[in-house]
Structure 1
């Protein structure tokens, strides 16, 4: 079956991208306002290129990985400046290392909080047991 777009660049509407990525049109417009994508206009309609679609996909992936929009924009800017993408890749490696370390620290903090919660729960259970020995739960109120 021949490609209906043969000979011309494939473009997308905001509703097509919103449906494909399961996000709202408002989110797409926000990313446009943030300078992450830059559709062309035909009257009031936004026309998104394949590049915009790829950038939107990378933005969503970056957000899932914990990157800020500023960090994502910085990577896009570096890529636009250095098409060899060496600078972008080196920066990405540094960002990944930074995110990994932040996540490790968060995991450590979470483990500490969980241990504190378990200790508090044990103390509460012990206090309840002591109250039970002294005539029931009516003494809590």
Structure 2
């Protein structure tokens, strides 16, 4: 990889828009070098951006992504980052499992409602009281 990337080259590298990159800059997650009016990004910026996108895929907030990045950049950051990532993964998994249960319960309720209306359509007026 080249030492410096333009914003469009960086966007292409990770398959996002330049607008998204500017947003991450506004949020303080990226700080490109400036050469006149042109932004230039280093391999460090590319790593930061990949960590942001990985965090987003995991369902982390931008603040949580920032925390992970800051830990990564500390001298002992990799072990702290790994520990924090494992905690976030466990929390996200519990949240997703709860959502799965709620979705399954909703599907059961919808099946009951559909059955109720199917009975009405089949001429069972007693089902109106169900």
Aligned to 2:122: 129
How many residues align? The count is 125
Runs of 4+ in 1 over 4 A off after TM superposition: none
My pick for the range that moved more, 74-83 or 63-72, is 74-83
Which of these two proteins has the greater Rg computed from alpha carbons?
Answer: 1
Aligned to 1:37: 30
Q: Does 1:63 align with 2:63?
A: no
Structure 2 gaps, min length 5: 126-130
For 2:63 and 2:90, locate their aligned partners in 1 and report how far apart those are by CA, in whole Å: 17
For 1:83 and 1:13, locate their aligned partners in 2 and report how far apart those are by CA, in whole Å: 30
Deviation at 1:90, TM superposition (A): 1.1
Change (3 A) 1:14 1:95: same
Aligned to 2:41: 48
Does structure 2 conserve the Cα–Cα contact (< 8 Å) formed by 1:82 and 1:88?
A: no
Structure 1 gaps, min length 5: 133-141
CA RMSD of aligned residues (A): 1.9
TM-score (norm 1): 0.81
